[in-house]
Amino acid sequence: SQQGEEDPQALSIQEGENATMNCSYKTSINNLQWYRQNSGRGLVHLILIRSNEREKHSGRLRVTLDTSKKSSSLLITASRAADTASYFCATVHVINTGTASKLTFGTGTRLQVTL
């Protein structure tokens, strides 16, 4: 089952506007990551935020994490047509200290950026 739920499921904006996607999860995490996927392709890692961090930036990306609300948001500023893709949050939760953990993906947000 999915760990995370993303909101909205689909988002359509014009080039130059900002896009905000939200992710909620259910159990305590070690870190949360955001990935991007162009249609039918593999996923590309965007950014990782650890459970003791509240905000992180990378270029036009800004990620926030609120562990008390079990939620995260991804903001893409000044969007471009090339940002059109699906965006997934993925959570890492420790199963046993020092042993296997895994990435559990959310349902994804489909972003469409039009000219």
Partner 1 sequence: KAGVTQTPRYLIKTRGQQVTLSCSPISGHRSVSWYQQTPGQGLQFLFEYFSETQRNKGNFPGRFSGRQFSNSRSEMNVSTLELGDSALYLCASSVEQGANTGELFFGEGSRLTVL
By the rule CB under 8 A, 101 interacts with partner 1: yes
Per-residue interface string for the shown chain with partner 1, residues 5-44, x marking contact by CB under 8 A: -------------------------xx-x-x----xxxxx
The count of chain residues that interact with partner 1, using the rule CB under 8 A, is 28
Q: Are 8 and 110 in contact (CB under 8 A)?
A: no
When asked if residue 105 is in the footprint of partner 1 (CB under 8 A), the reply is: yes
| DSSP H stretches of helix in the chain | none
The answer to the question of residue 95 lying near partner 1 (CB under 8 A) is yes
| Residue 41 dihedral angles phi and psi, to the nearest 5° | -110, 180
Asked if 78 and 59 count as a contact pair (C-beta separation under 8 A), the reply is no
Question: 20, 94, 110, 112: which one contacts partner 1 (CB under 8 A)?
Answer: 94
3-state secondary structure of 48: strand
CB 49 within 8 A of CB 32: yes
Nearest Cα neighbor of 109 from 97, 94, 26, 79 is 79
**Smallest distance, partner 1 to C-beta of residue 35, A:** 8
Binding of residue 72 to partner 1 (CB under 8 A): no
Binding site for partner 1 (CB under 8 A): 2, 30-31, 33, 35, 40-45, 48, 88, 92, 94-95, 97-108
